[in-house]
A and B are shown apart, each in its own frame.
Chain A
Amino acid sequence: MKISNLVLTALAATLMAGTAMADTAVKLGVLNDRSGIYADLAGEGSVIAAQMAVEDFKAAEKGITVEIISADHQNKPDVASTIARQWYDQEGVDVILDVPTSSAALAVNDVTREKNKVFINSGAASSDLTGSKCSPNTVHWTYDTWALANGTGSAMVQTGGKKWFFLTADYAFGHALERDTTAVVEAAGGEVVGSVRHPFPGTDFSSFLLQAQSSGAEVIGLANAGGDTINSIKQAAEFGITQGGQALAGLLVFLTDVHALGLQTAQGLVLTESFYWDLNDQTREWSKRFAEKGDGDMPTMVQAGVYAGVLHYLKAVEATGGKDPTAIMAKMKEMPTDDPLFGKGSVRVDGRKIHDMYLFKVKAPDQSKGAWDYYELVSTIPADKAFRPLADGGCELAK
């Protein structure tokens, strides 16, 4: 009796130890802009999205303990890489998420590779993250400059906008977007008649718009973002650019930008995104929950990308039964992705997440049925056409 008790106790102890070993504790760090121009489209919303992913995955029931921390990188690459180092070295962070602003993302990309951790980027645009600067430790989830250029650029050329003039933010991101869009426009038979590089950030764009107006271009491509795009569009409307027959192409426009512009000003704008809250029942249901948890704003594609990225990461943790970065990265690329926001997709060997992209047109005020009802779907760009072909990126992993 005593002996059998002892055996039972020992057995129980072993079992408990067994479950304790199966338990995996992961720490996620959401690193983005929490006070500057990208705070609305990423910011706290991305943290909420990450938390929702953990809840929806029911991580606790599956023996995965998840802790989420966050920090403000102020859109500065030096701040971003300092925080990334501190998180990996001292705080025991396993994954860094989001990181808008291409220059900051490229910095975190380097640190993550050096420390052999996992970086799931959602907010940054530069296609170099899966091209010349690609890393075995990085997944680029939501969109990139190539996909934006491909979506909006070819759509505009197809509808007759052959001659382009660029208004470009004078820094890495703007240059990359102009480069990628120029390639798309020229490949589709269009031509670029001129461009002007404006200081970043800017307030008054009227002189640049006037140059664009007199250039003879049919399309004015806005290779800028955030407040610069908002001001450019607002002032283009004022100067009668669109009434004069020239079309505006917002190459990177987020839902929050349209919200800030108002439909009166933004109507008719064509843009490319990978997610919109009102796409289908699943996106609507998720977005409604998101809005309730936050301050009522609908999610942007960046925040949606953080959610989906965390979900896919946790699936890989469950599947590999641990959090070894090399095993996780292999699993994430091997396993197809499936989530309510982006549907089915995959992570390519160069780290590029592949899914459909959508071409939207901003509704006129009388078409909108209520708050946040802003986009009308023009066309779906299928996943195999939405992103730069693997061979063209120049990524070493693709060779």
Chain B
Amino acid sequence: MSDRLQGTVMFELLGIPPQALFGQLLLGLINGSFYALLSLGLAVIFGLLNIINFAHGAQYMMGAFVAWMLLNYVGVSYWWALLLVPLVVGVFGVVIERLMISRLYHLDHLYGLLLTFGLALIIQGLFRNQYGISGLPYQIPSQLAGGQNLGFMFLPNYRGWVIFASLVVCLSTWFIIEKTRLGAYLRAATENPTLVGAFGINVPRLITLTYGFGVALAALAGVLAAPIYSVNPNMGADLIIVVFAVVVIGGMGSILGSIITGFGLGLVEGLTRVFYPEGSAVVIFVIMAIVLLIKPAGLFGRPA
């Protein structure tokens, strides 16, 4: 048994030794970084395209699978996969947007939702047919194997990397959209596409690339997840419901909202796992219900 974790218990908080509590908080933060990364992509797509992208979970799953394929068929390492997979899956997203989603912009949200939901089912079905349901193995890259003893817990290096990568990606996305000229074009194009078009900016291309970017974010999360979660066709379907709740709590379309809520809800879920594990699957939905009752536009959303 790992004596290092037993340490000296100086005080207990609600019956839980503080070491255990810190450990759980850190784990919550790690899960939160997946929520943040996925809900960020959803928020970008919804905020700028007004499409509720139900295929997001399937695209996350594709990210993990493409990483596996690159490794097993072509011999491409994890590090290259981090770069290549978002590109490959992002291009797939662009094709989907051009061929199908772009035809629905003038219709109600519901149509986009139904289309992307259908796409998700088809993609999952195809992968299930080809690779079965149990999943595929994907090892943690050797550079990130092992872990650090933080005194209160053993932190695998890979989990530390996930928090770091997720924070960097989330903050740069927020920066690009909120603080740069490109982001200003994007936001303007969604407010008033005709006017922005009149300034000589190719609005449809901007929209297409935005969708591709949102999909690429999902794929990146998929690559990050491949070494620690089971790589199987349903991995996205399991996660996407929670991520939607995160987006709703943060406020549909709010970039910063989705990042903060993603990390925050990861923490809340982590705490629930210590105090009442049976409730950890529903706690996020309970919070969602409460937030919707008190602040229907979400914590960071602007009332329509």
The verdict on A5 contacting chain B, using a C-beta distance below 8 Å, is: no
Task: Mark out the residues of chain B between 169 and 189 whose CB falls within 8 Å of any chain A CB in the assembled complex.
Answer: none
The verdict on A246 contacting chain B, using a C-beta distance below 8 Å, is: yes
Question: What size tier do the contact residues of chain B reach?
Answer: 35 or more
Kindly list chain A residues whose C-beta atoms are within 8 Å of the C-beta of B280.
198-199, 207
- Provide the main secondary structure of the chain B interface: mixed
The verdict on A208 contacting chain B, using a C-beta distance below 8 Å, is: yes
Task: Mark out the residues of chain A between 13 and 56 whose CB falls within 8 Å of any chain B CB in the assembled complex.
Answer: 35-41
Total A-B pairs, Cβ < 8 A = 122
The verdict on A214 contacting chain B, using a C-beta distance below 8 Å, is: yes
Q: By CB atoms of chain B within 10 A, which of A41, A217, A231 has the most?
A: A231
The verdict on A319 contacting chain B, using a C-beta distance below 8 Å, is: no
Task: Give the docked Cα–Cα distance between A144 and B277 (Å).
Answer: 27
Asked if A238 and B156 make an inter-chain contact with CB atoms under 8 angstroms apart, the answer reads yes
Asked if A207 and B24 make an inter-chain contact with CB atoms under 8 angstroms apart, the answer reads yes
Known contacts A204-B229, A213-B5; A260/B278 CB under 8 A: no
The verdict on A226 contacting chain B, using a C-beta distance below 8 Å, is: yes
Q: Chain B 121-161 against A: per-residue CB contact (8 Å), 1 yes, 0 no?
A: 00000001000111111011000001100000110101100
Of A208, A226, A260, the residue contacting B277 (CB under 8 A) is A208
Closest to B238 in A: A203
Kindly list chain B residues whose C-beta atoms are within 8 Å of the C-beta of A234.
228-230
Distance in Å: Cβ of A313 to nearest Cβ of chain B: 28
Of B28, B230, B238, B278, the residue contacting A230 (CB under 8 A) is B230
The verdict on B255 contacting chain A, using a C-beta distance below 8 Å, is: no
Closest to B20 in A: A214
Kindly list chain B residues whose C-beta atoms are within 8 Å of the C-beta of A197.
277-278
Known contacts A35-B128, A234-B230; A256/B31 CB under 8 A: no
The verdict on A370 contacting chain B, using a C-beta distance below 8 Å, is: no
Task: Give the docked Cα–Cα distance between A156 and B154 (Å).
Answer: 25
Asked if A207 and B273 make an inter-chain contact with CB atoms under 8 angstroms apart, the answer reads yes
Q: Chain A 238-254 against B: per-residue CB contact (8 Å), 1 yes, 0 no?
A: 11100011100000000
Q: Chain A 198-219 against B: per-residue CB contact (8 Å), 1 yes, 0 no?
A: 1101111011101101101110
Task: Give the docked Cα–Cα distance between A232 and B155 (Å).
Answer: 16
Task: Give the docked Cα–Cα distance between A226 and B136 (Å).
Answer: 13
Question: Which of B's residues lie within 8 Å of A, judged by CB?
Answer: 1-2, 5-6, 17, 19-20, 23-24, 27-28, 30-31, 128, 132-137, 139-140, 146-147, 153-154, 156, 158-159, 227-230, 232, 234-235, 238-239, 270, 273-274, 277-278, 280-282
For this complex, 5 residue pairs linking A to B, each with C-beta atoms less than 8 Å apart, are A198-B277, A211-B274, A227-B230, A238-B140, A238-B147
